[in-house]
């Protein structure tokens, strides 16, 4: 199977590769053509996933396809953008039909859930890796930036944290478990659901936002730095799922929730007046702290006292 046959069979023929919406021209020419509605800006983000670094060398290609697109699309959610499409630059050691078929099926499944279209890419031979570039649209001036948090704002997250990090030992083959709990955590690792609708609902309301990919503390530090404020997180308010607490135990679950990566949920700051209406609309918003003047991230215990978070991150478990 040559390069062009491979592209045609597995990617150009995929359901998610059909033109439509803002995609005037998809796969097959030198460039895709996108049409942006008047008054909207193009949101663009790129992520590379390398085998052995970002995912295990041997993993289920269907899940990998889903995860690769979810992780990339989550950046659009973090900006409050509406997905348009994505490109896929794929480097493969061999053209294995069943691998490609499953990988493309996984991409297709996530693309359907996220209203994403595959608009082009590149296919090369080499060690397995993939670069996905996602394109979205957002009304001019309404994108959710990291830089607008104000002292007095609430700090919120879009769901229970740490589940994917809790699954990591299983993903890496360091722990075996075939319990219902393990399966639930593995789903959170392999098929994160980008919070696109929440991102859109936060436009014009959140003062700063991002998607949590590197862990709550690390990503909140990005908002703090960009906004030149301090973010205070109440440790006891960090939402942790019952599944994670049961699987990992309270201490490890908290560690996962604070520093584990791969959540792909939104963290954002919000004036307190904006919260009731959003809660009434049913959004899964958890208030975990607030914004003050100053710099960096402060983790607070139940009494409001700071728990050490140095430049190296959370060190609650260091003696």
118 contributes a contact to ligand ADP by CB under 6 A:
yes
Q: Which does 118 bind (CB under 5 to 8 A by kind): Mg ion, ligand ADP, none?
A: ligand ADP
Name the residue nearer to Mg ion (CB basis): 31 or 302: 31
**Hey, how many other C-beta atoms are within 10 angstroms of the C-beta on 236?**
10
88 contributes a contact to ligand ADP by CB under 6 A:
yes
Residue 141's Cβ-side half-sphere holds a number of Cα atoms within 13 Å equal to 2
301 contributes a contact to Mg ion by CB under 5 A:
no
Only one of the segments 55-63, 113-121, 211-219, 231-239 lies at the binding site for ligand ADP (rule: CB under 6 A); that segment is 113-121
Compute the least distance from the CB of residue 6 to Mg ion, in Å: 12
Output b/e per residue, 44-68; b: 16+ Cβ within 10 A: ebebebebeebbeeeebbbbbbbbb
93 contributes a contact to ligand ADP by CB under 6 A:
no
120 contributes a contact to ligand ADP by CB under 6 A:
yes
Q: Which does 199 bind (CB under 5 to 8 A by kind): ligand ADP, Mg ion, none?
A: none
Compute the least distance from the CB of residue 26 to ligand ADP, in Å: 8
Nearest residue to 25 (alpha-carbon basis) of 37, 17, 14: 17
CA distance linking residue 135 with residue 153, whole number of Å? 30
3 contributes a contact to Mg ion by CB under 5 A:
no
122 contributes a contact to Mg ion by CB under 5 A:
yes
Count of residues near ligand ADP by CB under 6 A: 13
Strands 306-307 vs 286-292: parallel, antiparallel or unpaired:
unpaired
Q: For residue 101, what are the CA distances in angstroms to 77, 85, 94, 118, 121?
A: 28, 20, 13, 15, 17
Only one of the segments 26-34, 179-187, 199-207, 264-272 lies at the binding site for ligand ADP (rule: CB under 6 A); that segment is 26-34
Name the residue nearer to Mg ion (CB basis): 96 or 122: 122
CA distance linking residue 120 with residue 11, whole number of Å? 9
Mark out the alpha helices in 202-312 (DSSP H runs).
216-227, 242-248, 250-259, 275-280
Footprint of ligand ADP on this chain (CB under 6 A)?
Answer: 7, 11, 27-30, 88, 90, 118, 120-123
């Amino acid at each position: 199977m040559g390069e062009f046959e491979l592209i045609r069979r597995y990617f150009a023929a995929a359901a998610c590769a059909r033109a439509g919406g803002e995609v005037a021209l998809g796969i097959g020419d030198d460039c895709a053509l996108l049409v942006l509605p008047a008054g909207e800006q193009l949101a663009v983000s790129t992520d590379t996933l390398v085998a052995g670094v970002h995912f295990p060398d041997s993993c289920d290609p269907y899940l990998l396809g889903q995860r690769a697109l979810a992780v990339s699309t989550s950046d659009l959610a973090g900006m409050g953008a509406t997905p348009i499409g994505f490109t896929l630059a794929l480097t493969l050691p061999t053209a294995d039909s069943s691998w490609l078929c499953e990988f493309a099926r996984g991409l297709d499944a996530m693309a359907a859930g996220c209203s994403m279209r595959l608009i082009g890419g590149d296919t090369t031979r080499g060690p397995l890796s993939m670069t996905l570039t996602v394109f979205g649209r957002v009304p001019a001036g309404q994108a959710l930036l990291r830089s607008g948090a104000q002292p007095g704002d609430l700090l919120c997250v879009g769901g229970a944290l740490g589940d994917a990090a809790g699954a990591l030992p299983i993903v890496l083959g360091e722990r075996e478990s075939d319990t219902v709990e393990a399966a639930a955590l593995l789903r959170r690792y392999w098929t994160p659901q980008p919070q696109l609708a929440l991102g859109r609902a936060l436009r014009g309301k959140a003062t700063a936002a991002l998607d949590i990919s590197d862990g709550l503390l690390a990503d909140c530090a990005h908002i703090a730095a960009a906004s030149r404020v301090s973010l205070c997180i109440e440790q006891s308010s960090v939402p942790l799922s019952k599944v994670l607490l049961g699987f990992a135990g309270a201490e490890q679950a908290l560690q996962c929730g604070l520093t584990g990566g791969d959540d792909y949920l939104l963290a954002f700051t919000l004036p307190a007046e904006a919260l009731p209406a959003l809660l009434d609309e049913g959004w899964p918003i958890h208030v975990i702290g607030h914004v003050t003047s100053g710099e960096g991230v402060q983790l607070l215990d139940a009494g409001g006292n700071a728990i050490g978070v140095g430049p190296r991150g959370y060190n609650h478990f260091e003696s």
